[in-house]
Structure 1
Amino acid sequence: MDFTFTEDQLAFREAISRFLMTEAPPEMLREIWDTDDGRSPELRGKMAEQGLTALSVPEAQGGLGMDDIAWSLLTQELGYYAIADSLADTAYVATGLLSALPEGTPRRDEMLSRIAEGNVRIAVGHSVNPLIADVHLADVVLLEHEGEVHGLRRDAIGFERNPSIDSSRRLSRVSFTPSADSLVLDAGQGRAVWAQTLNRGALAVAGQSLGLAQRMLDLSVDYAVQRKQFGKPIGSFQAVKHHLADVAGKIEFARPVLYRAAHALAHGEAGADLHVSHAKLACCEAAWLAGRHGIQVHGAMGYTWEVDLQMFMKRAWALDSSWGDRAFHKSRVANAILAPDAAIGPQYTFAE
């Protein structure tokens, strides 16, 4: 079995990385986040032109038809460059939800086509998230109610803005009244769709967290090379090396876990819940450690607004509990591996 990425997947990732490096530097993000909306329509339009919004939309609706494995690469880039929630929520999570709806569902194909074109924002509200990202700009809000899928325009719901420690996040607490007009899918079919949506949301956070961890490690290494004490770069001191090596190790152990979860989702494996929760825990732990050790390497300066590290550190903190906190995902892992019939062992990793 070949586990390597295709040339197209790697080329797409490299192209997106170069694009975001140019179009979304930290100084530009600071300016965007200082605005009331916290979003840039110009940047969103450029990302749509690059094909980001069309990535997983089916080809029949004008998309590229790529799967969760491709997103496991892309979300790392979104994390590395601290791109806000709305892109992944619309282009990946909402697209997956809409694609899972039965064919013929009203407005399904229309919404998928609009996502591919990049001219719609969709916010997704799952019961695991008390706060929903980017409702204030969403054209459509997809919400869960007792397993049902409801779709409403923003002006048909009530929402209260909630501040976040992460300047890139725009969170709201939503209230709405379910009705026959807003119902998209009943609870019988909706629960399975929401279970997939939860896994995609958690996988998106895992990928972004891994990208954040890598960015914080890179920033810390750069600082350790430039900052000198006693006439030597602090990176030459053994204690600093150990901190950075610990982070590098966490990242390298988390990355294959992320890819394993993406493979499970893409192929509809029965154990996808376990793999996604494992990835969420491993990647968020890597990001948490990268932030903690990054602060120790930078000293008190790492907390200040002028230093880039704090942007990525705060985002890692905020995303840690998004789409299920650690207790939730540890519980899913425990339920899977402690089950009487649990398939534990290397021979079960991939079915032949």
Structure 2
Amino acid sequence: MRFALTEDQLAFRDAVREPLSKGWDALAELGLFGALVPAERDGLGLAETDLVAVLEEVGAAAVPHPVSATAFVAAPLLAATDDPRLADVVAGRTRIALAGPGGLTPFGGHADLVLHLDGGVARLGPAAGAPVSTVDTTLAAVLGAASTGAAPLTDDPALVAAAARRAGLAAAAELIGLGRRMLDLTVGYVRQRHQFGAPVGSFQAVKHHLADATLALEFAAPSVLAAAWAMEHDVDAERAVDGAVVLAADAAHAVSRAAIQCHGAIGYTVEYELHRYAKRAWALEASCDTGARLDRLATSLDLKETSS
């Protein structure tokens, strides 16, 4: 089995780059919010594997809007439940954020509705809550958007589980995109930054840092595409998604550390562009609950804790 992008998937990835820089309306014109919606419901009828590269681009751009939550999580769930609000979502007139643990909702300040996936029930309600400070200020997060005030959308365990897996897969893909963006910035910097009469990128220590970061990303990226395939074909999807999220989070974290260190003093300057991507990666990593995912993976593999 070969987990690689097709020409059509690469073309869709390339097509989304310019709209990502232009904003929400441009993405709606491209049809991104209906990508996973069946064609008979005015969508593009694509599959999860078709969106992986696009979600990586969303991550690489550190978009300050709930693009993934709306297009990859909420829209297919609304389509599966025949919700009449789907038309407005596909057209880009309604933005939906995804509630996280403890009532913290990233992009809640930029959303019209909030999707809650808890207790085996999917609920959809108005965006509400008090603004809260986060490491990534572009998240416009709100706190206190409780699911109790949201109307039930479905209690079908299969649909709720699929939505939760899509949320994890979207986070993993975005983390890969963020990692690649940070790596590109760093490689460009060490090529032009000179010390002792030579580019710092020619120093062995810098090469080793960037090689390790590249290896982590290249190892994690195929697992994300494989998880999308597992979801699309319903083959051990939960374990595949958990593995992809853990690998992508570890890779993005490793790249952010290497990127900041290889940039030297400017890497610690919060106004520098690198921090836009590093902080988004840290915020995403924190929301992924990798500890619980590792526990599930251990259980699925029948790994028992041993005392030393």
TM-score, normalised relative to structure 2? 0.91
Instruction: Report the Cα offset of residue 70 of structure 1.
Output: 1.5
- Other-structure match for 1:307: 272
Alignment pair present for 1:259 and 2:239: no
Matched residue SS, 1:327:
helix
Matched residue SS, 1:48:
helix
Task: Sort the Cα spacing of 1:303 and 1:116 in 2 relative to 1 into closer, same or farther, 3 A.
Answer: same
Checking the alignment, whether the CA contact within 8 Å between 2:75 and 2:90 is kept in structure 1 is no
Alignment of 1:132-281 (within 5 A): 132-144=105-117, 146-154=119-127, 158-176=128-146, 178=148, 182-186=151-155, 189=156, 191-269=157-235, 271-281=236-246
Aligned amino acid, residue 95 of structure 1: A
Give, in whole Å, the separation in 2 of the partners of 1:192 and 1:176. Answer: 23
- Other-structure match for 2:94: 120
Give, in whole Å, the separation in 2 of the partners of 1:17 and 1:136. Answer: 24
Give, in whole Å, the separation in 2 of the partners of 1:258 and 1:85. Answer: 22
Give, in whole Å, the separation in 1 of the partners of 2:88 and 2:38. Answer: 12
Q: Identity of aligned pairs, percent? A: 37
Stretches of 4+ aligned residues off by more than 6 angstroms: none
- Other-structure match for 2:67: 87
Structure 2 residues not aligned, in runs of 5+: none
Alignment pair present for 1:283 and 2:248: yes
Q: Across the two proteins, how many residue pairs are aligned to each other?
A: 304
Give, in whole Å, the separation in 1 of the partners of 2:113 and 2:161. Answer: 20
Matched residue SS, 2:43:
coil
Give, in whole Å, the separation in 2 of the partners of 1:45 and 1:147. Answer: 33
Structure 1 residues not aligned, in runs of 5+: 25-42, 341-352
- Other-structure match for 1:33: none
Give, in whole Å, the separation in 2 of the partners of 1:79 and 1:145. Answer: 25
* Aligned-residue CA RMSD (Å): 2.1
Q: Kindly indicate which of the two structures has a greater share of residues assigned to helix.
A: 2
- Report the more deviating stretch, 55-64 or 130-139: 130-139
- Other-structure match for 2:24: 44
Of residues 289, 301, 304, the one that matches 1:337 is 301
Task: Sort the Cα spacing of 1:60 and 1:174 in 2 relative to 1 into closer, same or farther, 3 A.
Answer: farther
Instruction: Report the Cα offset of residue 182 of structure 1.
Output: 2.2
Matched residue SS, 2:31:
coil
Aligned amino acid, residue 146 of structure 1: G
